[in-house]
Amino acid sequence: MRRSMLAVAVIAAAATFATTAAAQTPAPGPQSTRFFNTLLEKDPSREVRMQLQVHQPGPGTPFHTHPGDQWEVVLDGEMTYMVRGQPARVLKAGDSVYIPRGTIHRNENKSGRVTRTIELLIVDKDKPQRTDAPPE
């Protein structure tokens, strides 16, 4: 009887630990904090967005496109930026990149520490911010 009660207690504790650990594990891809999202003054069919991205070390985003233009600045850490068919570039704190509409690209944090970037996007209103690119 005591063994079965002990086994139930151990299983319950393990399940609680697993649930808590899963809840604390960040989702894959960057975590975003949007500062603002507003219509472009003379073209209300497009939106201006500024957001902070926190990139955990790891595989990063899949190749994707945006329905508009993007500017990205590395605030701290470093990011590997890739455009499909071109050599990868390592961007360090203070570096920036302009990503024209429809460019198939991705980011990966290979640095082993958290990287923060800030992004400014001017994108078509009512379209998804990101569309995953088909495989090559």
* Per-position DSSP letters for 29-75, written without gaps between them: S-EEEEEEEEEETTEEEEEEEEEEEEE-SBS-PPSEE-SEEEEEEEE
Q: Stretch 91-116: mean pLDDT, rounded?
A: 97
- Count structural domains, the chain: 1
Q: Is residue 47 part of a domain?
A: yes
pLDDT of residue 37: 95
Relative to beta strand 115-124, strand 105-108 is unpaired
CATH number at residue 57: 2.60.120.10
Average pLDDT along the chain: 85
Q: DSSP string of 78-130?
A: EEEEEETTS--EEEETT-EEEE-TT--EEEEB-SSS-EEEEEEEEEETTS-S-
Q: Which residues contact 32 (CB under 8 A, 6 or more apart)?
A: 51, 52, 53, 54
Q: Is residue 2 part of a domain?
A: no
* Higher per-residue confidence, 101 vs 11: 101
Q: Is residue 9 part of a domain?
A: no
Q: Is residue 88 part of a domain?
A: yes
Structural domain range at position 122: 31-132
Q: Is residue 66 part of a domain?
A: yes
Q: Is residue 13 part of a domain?
A: no
**What's the whole-model pTM score?**
0.77
